[in-house]
Amino acid sequence: MKMLIKLDYRESDLKIACVQALIQGNYGDTITLKDENLPVGDAIIYDDEGTERIIIERKCLNDLAASIGDGRYDEQGFRLNQCNLHNHSIYYLIEGDLKYYNPRVGRKDKKTLISSMVSMSYFKGFSLHKTTSTQESAEWIVQFAHKLRREKAKGNDKSFYAGGAEEMTTSYSAVSKRVKKDNITVENIGEIMLSQIPGVSNASAIAVMKEFKSIKNLIACLESNQHALAGLTT
């Protein structure tokens, strides 16, 4: 059983640190490391069956400040929310010590950064992990993959929210923003169309289509009753 860690090709410093962590932990036979152009996230952990288990968005404090300033923070959060994994299994890895953060460089004060972290975890439902260095980040990623491998070997590899994640992986609309249009079918086109609307999550799109079966029927129901979506749960 061998885990796979994919790193975005731009994360060269993290790759070097991960290689060192693999060597130090003697994980070369159980964890493979690859770098490529990732469509979302900076690191993704896969199990031996090629299933995504964890998506990691890595940000140093200055990167976080810059992304808040130029709008990437909201855009990245939206794209991560469209992934097939439950948000619990999508991590924001915040790298750096707030004690040494210089707001004159990041152009955002500490309160703004802390507020953004609260939004990530409490309001958006993403997991959050903080480290103080690239080396510590690499050790955490490698150890995370190792822990998942050990638990799977014991038959205990499902996360707390595994039920919801498994339900969502059956829907192509959950990954529609990352794969070819050739995979769009009559069965999933409604979910895909709804999930393109800002603020509509994959879970909501799935629930709506499960209830109304088609976009045409949804429109007809809304025309006759503007409260047709009231009470619908995901």
Full-prediction pTM beyond 0.75?
no
Handedness of CA 204, 209, 214, 220 (dihedral sign): negative
Q: What is the per-residue pLDDT for 90?
A: 96
DSSP 185: -
Given this model, what pLDDT does residue 171 score? 55
Please choose, from the candidates 1, 56, 11, 3, the residue with its C-alpha nearest in 3D space to the C-alpha of residue 32.
3
Task: Count other Cβ atoms within 10 Å, centred on residue 153.
Answer: 12
Location of each CATH 3.40.50.10130 domain in the chain: 3-161
Q: Does domain 3-161 have CATH number 1.10.3720.10?
A: no
Residue 59 confidence (pLDDT): 96
pLDDT at 162: 56
Task: Give me the pLDDT at residue 165, please.
Answer: 43
Phi, psi (5° rounding) for residue 152? Answer: -65, -35
Residues in the chain: 234
pLDDT at 181: 58
- Please give the pLDDT value at position 167: 45
- pLDDT confidence of residue 234: 61
Q: How large is the angle between the packed helices 61-70 and 110-118, nearest 10 degrees? A: 80
pLDDT tens for each residue of the chain, 234 residues long: 899 999 999 999 999 999 999 999 999 899 999 999 998 999 999 999 999 999 999 999 999 999 999 888 888 898 898 888 999 999 999 999 999 999 888 789 999 999 999 999 999 999 999 999 999 999 999 999 999 999 988 887 677 665 544 444 445 555 555 545 556 777 788 888 888 787 777 778 888 888 888 888 889 888 888 888 887 776
Q: Which residues partner with 56 through β-bridges?
A: 43, 91
